[in-house]
Structure 1
Amino acid sequence: MTIKDIGPEPQSFDLEKATLENSNYRAVAWSGKYLQLTLMSIPAGEDIGLEAHPETDQFLRLDAGRGRVQMGRTKDQLDFDREVEDGWAIFVPAGTWHNVTNIGDEPLQLYAVYAPVHHAPGKVHETAADAERDEDSGDDEPPSWSVQPVRQPSDKHA
């Protein structure tokens, strides 16, 4: 199932099917004016990467696999530590350091909702390295029509 990000237009699709069929590290499925949906697949033994989004709240839901979520106020104090699996939700408040690690034997299939919009519409990253390269080069910026905080501090990565 291929989802085409049509921007801030009405959209409907089988989210669970799209999430389970996604094999990319991250694929932007829908970009609205205020929030965005991405599909993610994290290979066994890998993680999303420790990061914090100063002005972005996140909601993540697992549709397959087993993971470990860690969160905290600083990158050195991740005092929230839980195992999660299919059906679990993760809520990441803006500014919170967080990471999700695949602790299972199969890909960790999940989707993430960002508010405000965080990535370029329709952007697909096959691997985490591709995502990092695009972020470093500035090739993964929110669209000009999305509503962004007045002051947009940079994300933090460990």
Structure 2
Amino acid sequence: MTGRTRTMDMIDNGPNPNAFDIEEATLANDDYRRVVWTGRHLQVTLMSIPVGQSIGLEVHPDNDQFLRIEGGEGRCVMGPAEDQLNFQQDVSDDWSIQVPAGVWHDVINTGSEPLRLYSVYSPVHHAHGRVHPTFEDAEADEESGEDEPPAWTGHELPQWTVGPVR
């Protein structure tokens, strides 16, 4: 992959300052979810949703979420309850989705290739640097309590060092 970001080489160096080509990294990502940066109040993840699958119907009571589609086609559904998903929108390259805290939501891959997107959470929602190759891996981590934000996201930040991310 000459000229492309290899997501397997990316590390979550948060809360250190960071910059990378997010479109390139998103399109290169094959993992269901990969946390690529964790700050005290904000977190960035890359996602790749296989054909016919979805991110999974969910609600984040305390997190606003921004998603941007970089590749593929899908359908976004949202609503006040899991049986009241009255907002529906087809989405594709360059579309963004804004999910307010407390709103049920899902993004379903309706296309013929993986749906590639990135997500920004505020406040932090996942464990620092966590990589979930599949939806099932993500579910298992959440059920076991292994996918919790680091303690420092609610407290004093650790000392950081300036340096580039591989």
TM-score by length of 2: 0.88
Counterpart of 1:6 in structure 2: which amino acid? N
After superposing on structure 2, the runs of 4+ consecutive aligned residues of structure 1 that deviate more than 2 Å are none
Deviation by residue 1:65-122 (Cα, 9 ceiling, x = unmatched): 0000000000000000000000000000000000000000000000000000000111
Match for 2:60 among 53, 60, 79? 53
Aligned residues: 148
User: Deviations for 1:22-55, whole angstroms, at most 9, x for unmatched residues?
Assistant: 0000000000000100000000100011000000
Aligned to 2:15: 8
* Pair member with larger Rg: 2
Unaligned runs of 5+ in 2: 1-5, 156-166
- Describe how 1:134-153 pairs up with structure 2 within 5 A: 134-147=141-154
Gaps in structure 1 of 5+ consecutive residues: 149-158
Q: Which residue of 2 aligns with 1:111?
A: 118
What is the distance in 2 between the residues matched to 1:88 and 1:47?
Answer: 16
Higher strand share: 1
Match of residue 94 from structure 1: 101
For residue 147 of structure 1, report the CA deviation from its aligned partner.
2.6
Alignment-derived partner of residue 71 in structure 2? 64
Matched residue type, 2:34: A
Q: CA RMSD in A?
A: 0.8
SS in 2 for 1:24: coil
Distance 2:112 2:46 in 1: 19
Task: Report the TM-score, using the length of structure 1 for normalisation.
Answer: 0.92
Percentage of identical aligned residues: 58
Asked if the contact 1:5–1:29 (Cα under 8 Å) also holds between the matched residues in 2, the reply is yes
